[in-house]
Every structure is written in C-alpha cells, then in structure tokens.
Chains A and B, each alone.
Chain A
C-alpha cells in the first residue's frame, strides 16, 4: 500500500509565514516517506500560511492539501478533530505526524481515540520496522528514551527541536482543496478570556539567561533579569522557581514550560534535571554557572563556570557592558 501517504498535519497559522515547527516536522516526514517509498502530503487545517507553497517544494511534498472552514482554528478542538478524523478515514494515511503544540496535544489523541488508532507523543525520530513503524520518544522528563512499535495509521506527535539541515531546492507546490463539512460542529469549549502576552516570548529568543534554585532566594532573581538585559536576551527560570512563586510561569523553561532553542542559553544555579534540559538542550551554545562542579548541567554545557552566582553575575554584567 505504498501509494498511501505519510501526512504532516499543521493547523497553527504561525508567526513568520509558517506554522511553528513546520520545517522540523516536514523534515521528519520527508525522512519517513523516503524510507517507505511513500508520497509526503502536507495537510493544512485552516488558513494557508504565506510560505506554505515554497516550503512544501523544499521538503519534497508531493501534495499540499488544505481544508478551509472558518471553524478551523487551533483552539477549536472539536472542529479540528472532526476535520482530521474525516480526512484519515477517507485517505488512510500510513502515518499522521504533528508538531507538538498545546493544541496538537489535544487534537492528536482525540483523533486517535475516534479512529481507534495508535497514538504517541514526545516523538524524536521515526523509522519503518517491517510492517510497523518504530518511534523513539522521550520519557521520564528526558531521563530516558523509549522505543515504541506502532501499528498502521498512527497519529504521532513530535518534539521536533533539532536543527533542520538546509532543505533542498524544489518548485512551489500548488494547493489542493479538500472539502470538509463542519456544519454540524459546535465547539463545546468557550473561551472566556484570551491569553494576552504582548512581550517577547522565550520561544523566539536568541539569548536566554535562566536562574534556578541555586540563586538561593527570590531577592536574587532580578540579577538574572539584569544580566539578560545586558546581554540583549530574555530571563527564564527552572520549574522550582515557578512552583515557589518567584516568577510567573511564562518564564518557565522545561518539559512542562517553554521549549526554547536560542543561540545562547546561560543556566545559572540550575542543576541540569532532565525536565529542565528538555526545554533548553536545543540551544546552540549552553553556558553553565554552578557552585557544584559535579552538577549535571556541565555535561550539557559548552562553557562552565564553577563559582558563586551572586558574585559572578555582577562581574558578567560588567564584562558584557565593557565590550
């Protein structure tokens, strides 16, 4: 049944002309489709992102498909589930791959539940294994990797944060409209108050300076903010600081917080628990500052400074400003 496609599904408009994680998930989809000698389809639920056609060409998408309906917004889970389930029933894809967003985390399992298909989250890589697919996923907050064997037509969600190699050249792909009838769908969840965050987001930051429990006291967190500002970056935090109410959760980096991929990540007073590393291990350069030279964070770091954060941070601010 090799004519059945590997389908990448996105349903977020994204901010820079592409849905968040689109290139990463298309790269994974391309790899799987090639291994299966299957076509790669890209299904877009809702409005077409600006760069969709060109990007589809770059990643060897053979069919760019769009389901359009005013109801198809990422937050409209009932509409998205109905649309994607209907699509899967008609087209019987070999696998549906999604980039793991908060909304995908609801839509993927609900579609799988409706269709009685396999579903796996936190995917990192995938390959065929005989008749089945074999997916490597993160578990225990990143402490371990698990390999799952899944049956036909699974719905799979990936934490696709590895760097994508430059895509090959390819001609833009034209858009094929797939009809869907959502007239019967009424969303059961009503948004009373929309999340409003107008500041810069950690997800997009090029430089992040994060503080952890090693700072000792909430009174020392402003040092992190000052260093972040001096470096032209944003301030982040590990989960204990959020749980203890030192900073609000929009600053939390980690598995249950923001998954970031900055050029530079400076971790100060952070031990390097996997739950945190899941949110920053994609950083191009990681600098660790910790008083304990055996702290796990140094295993991930490019540069390490062993010492007292409260003494080091003011010196770092001075050194940045000096240069």
Chain B
C-alpha cells in the first residue's frame, strides 16, 4: 500500500499577514510577486497536516509506504523535513512554478503518481495558504479517476475503504469511499508533529529523486497554463473608525446608544 502526500512551498502566511497589517507588504517591479526577502519560505501548513494525517494512520497500525512529492523550483529542504517525519519516498518535480497554472501542477503530480506505480490514498492540504485556490487535489482526482473528499478533520482506513470526518457548516459529516481516493486535510485536524533531532540528522543525507516534466511524458504544451497571474496588489481598507472614549461604563453606554441611533440594535 502506498500513500502519497502532495506538498507545496509557500511564503510564511503569518509573516505576509504581519507585513500586510502593518501596511508594509511589498510587491515587486513585475507587479505580481511579493518581494520581501525577510519572509521565510516553508511547507504549506495544510500540507504539513496532510503528512500528519498519514502519520496518524501509521500510528494506528496501517502498513504503507509514505511518498511525499512536490513540484517547484527548490523543494529539497521541504522534502527533507518530510523524510525526517517518516516519508520513505521523496520526489521533486523540477519546474518553474511561476510559469504553471493549477491544471499543470495537477497534471505533473498525477503523472508522477502514475509513474511511481499509483497510490491507494492521495492526501493534500485543503488549499495552499498563498493563492488559497485549493483546486489541485480535485484536478488530481479527475486525472487519476479517483473520488475527491475535501476538508477532513480525521481520516481512517478500514479494509480497502477510507473513512473521512469532514468539517461542514452544518457540523461534522462522515463519508466513506473505496480506495484509491484523494482526501484534502483541513486545519481542524490539529497540530502536526515535529521530527526528532536524530531523525532530522539522518534525513540530511537523504536525497529526493529529481524528475523533469519530460521524464513524466509531459511536453511543454501539456503543461501550458490556461490561467495566468498578471497582477497582485494589496486591497485598500476604508479606515473610518470612530473611537469611543471615556470610562468603561461610559464607553459601553455610548456604543449602545450609537447602535440604537443607527437602528442597528
């Protein structure tokens, strides 16, 4: 049995948020790239939780090979982190991420999964914290003809079935599908674990397998983008806040008075 987790490198969303909130987020001369070099690059948090979901299956006794794959310019550091956590197969698909769209990423990842002999379960983060698109898992599902189950807070394997607890606006829903299937993991799964120091040292020597799109039988036309990012900007916020002053009780009274006057309460 093989479980494949697809991971993406993103700019630390908390750091991006801190710069944005402070009004200091910089967009480069190309009009679309965030240029702050001080913002660290790391594994998309939801993807880290997808690895955690796989590790929990292993904790519960499931016997499988864990493969972690990524398409990008330099995913090596991220994949070593995955190795330290217990991934046995690591594949870096060498591409310039700026030149691809989601369809192309899905094609590359799906082709890699097929090339390595398929997967019984494909786990992905619910979305990447940079573009928030969250379409790659569903596109992989279409490519590989697998059902797609989204926003999991818990994943279990029973015989050849995957059973997933989903987070919906009406509360938790439990669904099941026969493997192989694609499952996306939501933040409700909980914190991912850290690798031990010894595992980290050992992982330093591990080299991911590096493949090119052509190794996967994909031509430049096959991965030509249909969606192009042309511009990125920071939206303006109105900022017409009226600060209510006074002692605590006074502030409370004034606020409620104003809300009544505005017919809001």
- List the interface of chain A (C-beta within 8 A of B): 77-78, 102, 105-106, 108-110, 112-114, 116-122, 134, 138-151, 154, 188-197, 201, 203, 207, 231, 239, 242-243, 249-250, 255-256, 258, 263-264, 271-275, 284-285, 287-288, 293, 296, 298-308, 311-312, 315-316, 318-320, 322-323
B167 touches A303 (CB 8 A): no
A316 touches B255 (CB 8 A): yes
> Is B66 an interface position by the 8 A CB rule?
no
- Which residue of chain A is the closest to B188 with respect to CB atoms? A249
Neighbouring A residues of B131 by C-beta, 8 Å: 139, 146
Neighbouring B residues of A320 by C-beta, 8 Å: 256, 265
> Is B262 an interface position by the 8 A CB rule?
yes
Give the distance to chain B from A100, nearest Cβ to Cβ, in Å. Answer: 10
Q: B residues 162-215 with Cβ under 8 Å of A?
A: 163, 166-178, 181, 186-188, 190-191
Q: Say what secondary structure dominates the interface of chain A.
A: mixed
- Which residue of chain B is the closest to A315 with respect to CB atoms? B252
- Which residue of chain A is the closest to B263 with respect to CB atoms? A263
Q: B residues 116-162 with Cβ under 8 Å of A?
A: 126, 129-135, 138-139, 141-143, 147-151, 153
B176 touches A192 (CB 8 A): yes
Neighbouring B residues of A142 by C-beta, 8 Å: 235
B177 touches A312 (CB 8 A): no
Neighbouring B residues of A120 by C-beta, 8 Å: 133, 227
**Whole-angstrom distance between the alpha carbons of A141 and B174 in the complex?**
27
Binds A, one of B50-58, B73-81, B90-98, B99-107: B99-107
A109 touches B248 (CB 8 A): no
> Is B38 an interface position by the 8 A CB rule?
no
A-B contact count (CB 8 A): 254
B143 touches A113 (CB 8 A): yes
Neighbouring A residues of B265 by C-beta, 8 Å: 207, 231, 264, 320, 323
Q: Known interface pairs A138-B132, A285-B259. Does A147 touch B232 (Cβ–Cβ under 8 Å)? A: yes
A273 touches B21 (CB 8 A): yes
Give the distance to chain B from A145, nearest Cβ to Cβ, in Å. Answer: 5
**Whole-angstrom distance between the alpha carbons of A298 and B143 in the complex?**
46
Q: Which of A77, A188, A197, A307 contacts B171 (CB 8 A)?
A: A197
B256 touches A323 (CB 8 A): yes
Q: Known interface pairs A110-B138, A147-B232, A302-B241. Does A141 touch B176 (Cβ–Cβ under 8 Å)? A: no
B132 touches A134 (CB 8 A): no
Neighbouring A residues of B229 by C-beta, 8 Å: 146-148
Q: Say what secondary structure dominates the interface of chain B.
A: mixed
B21 touches A272 (CB 8 A): yes
Give the distance to chain A from B177, nearest Cβ to Cβ, in Å. Answer: 5
A139 touches B176 (CB 8 A): no
Q: Known interface pairs A139-B131, A146-B231. Does A109 touch B139 (Cβ–Cβ under 8 Å)? A: yes
**Whole-angstrom distance between the alpha carbons of A194 and B166 in the complex?**
10
Q: Known interface pairs A190-B176, A191-B173, A304-B241. Does A121 touch B227 (Cβ–Cβ under 8 Å)? A: no
Q: List 9 A-B contacts (CB under 8 A).
A: A112-B103, A143-B13, A148-B227, A151-B226, A193-B172, A196-B171, A264-B265, A274-B21, A316-B252
Give the distance to chain B from A269, nearest Cβ to Cβ, in Å. Answer: 15
- Which residue of chain B is the closest to A119 with respect to CB atoms? B135
Neighbouring B residues of A189 by C-beta, 8 Å: 147, 149, 175-177
A113 touches B103 (CB 8 A): yes
Q: Which of A117, A149, A273 contacts B228 (CB 8 A)?
A: A149
6 further A-B contacts with Cβ under 8 Å, apart from A144-B20, A312-B248, are A119-B227, A148-B227, A149-B227, A203-B169, A285-B264, A319-B249
- Which residue of chain A is the closest to B135 with respect to CB atoms? A109
In order of increasing CB-CB distance, the 8 nearest A-B pairs are: A113-B142, A315-B252, A109-B135, A109-B138, A193-B174, A188-B147, A118-B226, A143-B20
**Whole-angstrom distance between the alpha carbons of A161 and B258 in the complex?**
26
A301 touches B241 (CB 8 A): yes
B226 touches A192 (CB 8 A): no
A287 touches B230 (CB 8 A): no
Q: Which of A119, A140, A196, A312 contacts B132 (CB 8 A)?
A: A140
B143 touches A201 (CB 8 A): no
B173 touches A193 (CB 8 A): yes
**Whole-angstrom distance between the alpha carbons of A263 and B260 in the complex?**
13
B134 touches A264 (CB 8 A): no
A190 touches B251 (CB 8 A): no
A134 touches B163 (CB 8 A): no
A147 touches B241 (CB 8 A): no
- Which residue of chain A is the closest to B253 with respect to CB atoms? A319
A140 touches B253 (CB 8 A): no
Q: Which of B101, B147, B186, B248 contacts A78 (CB 8 A)?
A: B147
> Is B25 an interface position by the 8 A CB rule?
yes
Give the distance to chain A from B204, nearest Cβ to Cβ, in Å. Answer: 31
> Is B240 an interface position by the 8 A CB rule?
yes
Neighbouring B residues of A144 by C-beta, 8 Å: 16, 20, 25, 27, 34, 232-235
